[in-house]
Every structure is written in structure tokens, then in C-alpha cells.
Amino acid sequence: MRLYYGPGLCSQAPHIALREAGLAFDLVKVDLETHRTEDDRDYLAINPAGYVPALEIEPGVVLTEGPAILQYVADRSPASGLAPANGSPERYRLQSWLNFITSELHKGYSPLFKPETPVEYRRQALGLLGRRLAIVEQALARGPFIGGRTFTVADAYLFVVTGWSGFVGLDLAPFPNLVAFRARVAARPMVKAALTAEGLAR
């Protein structure tokens, strides 16, 4: 498998998941400005949307969209416990969290990275993110991870997305459960390995 990624971007979640799952894969860095891969291929021919992640399962077979890729990775390694069994209520709860993270958090951070975003809209976006993170904070009061006792692909995604907070001026201090969660996830060996591979180790 090949994971097309950008350092620190949302592709970091499937990167973490692949390592946690113990699956063999190659990392291919993408320049999102030129849409060229590090081995000088046209990334738009791989993913016409032009963004990461994309996971090439085999030559010519490519998955896009983070939540779908995360579940595929988890299902390739059931013993890893990265996702509950398909068809179970727990699996649908995982999907609920993946949808929440992608639509309410991930997309909420996106405009804050753009310098042209108006100041008033930025203020509103930060306020909305704060309210959404309060929901996460409440959920994390019930267990060390977003779904309870077990680390899943949703935790990898939540870790990556909330890691953007410092770049957009969002203070996580009002969310102590989330801050503790981030420290727990950051300490995982496979998370450290992913950050190192992306050149982001601290």
C-alpha cells in the first residue's frame, strides 16, 4: 500500500492508523501547491480532488477521504482493535465520531488557516469550535479515549485535528480532558514513529 500525505495534515491520522495496525506501507509525500508527488508524478491523476490523504491499495485502486481510509485500515487488521466489528452498535458509534470530527471539527479549523478569512468570521469560527470541543471534552470525561477504554481510528483523527489548535489561536486550556487525551496519544510509540517519519518529532 501507498499512503499519499502531507506532514501534519489530516493524512497523519491514517498514517498513525497504519502503524498502529502493523500494516506494511510506503509513504509518498505530496506538494499540494504543485500537485506533484515526491517521485515527480501528477497527484491529480491519483486523486483528482488534489488533497490528501489517498491510499493506494494496489496499482490503480485508490481510496480517498480520511474516515473511509481509517476504517479500511482498521478492517485490514481486526486484531489491532482500531475499530469495532462491522454491524455492531459500537461500530456505528465510531462512525458517528468520525463524522463529527470530519464535519464539525476538521472543517471548522480549515478557514482559520486562510489569511483572507475575515476577522469577524474567524471569531465566529473559533467560538463554534469551542462549543464543539466542549462536546468532546464531555465525552472524554467517561474514558481515556473518545469511545471509551480502547484507542481507535477516531482517536488518531481527533489527535491530529486538535493538534492544529495552536496554529489557529485556539486555546485548549479550558478542555483539560482533551489536553490529557492529547498527551496520552502523543506518548504512544506508533504516534511518535509517525511524527518522526513526517519530520515533526519534538
CATH topology for 83-188?
Answer: Glutathione S-transferase Yfyf (Class Pi); Chain A, domain 2 (1.20.1050)
Intervals of CATH 3.40.30.10 along the chain: 2-79+190-197
Intervals of CATH 1.20.1050.10 along the chain: 83-188
Mean pLDDT of the chain: 97
How far is Cα of residue 107 from the mean position of the Cα atoms in its chain? 12
Residue among 150, 159, 151, 144 nearest 194 (CA)? 159
> How much is the pLDDT for 201?
81
Residues with Cβ within 8 Å of 95's Cβ and at least 6 positions away in sequence, in order, are 67, 71
Q: Which CATH number fits domain 2-79+190-197: 3.30.479.30, 3.40.30.10, 3.90.1170.50, 1.10.260.40?
A: 3.40.30.10
**CA 20/CA 102 separation, integer angstroms:** 21
pTM of the model: 0.97
Q: Are β-strands 36-37 and 54-58 bridged in parallel, bridged antiparallel, or unpaired?
A: unpaired
Per-residue pLDDT reduced to its tens digit, 21-38: 999 999 999 999 999 999
Instruction: Kindly tell me if the per-residue pLDDT of 202 is higher than 90.
Output: no
The mean pLDDT of 140-165, rounded to a whole number, is 97
- Cβ(97)–Cβ(154) under 8 Å? yes
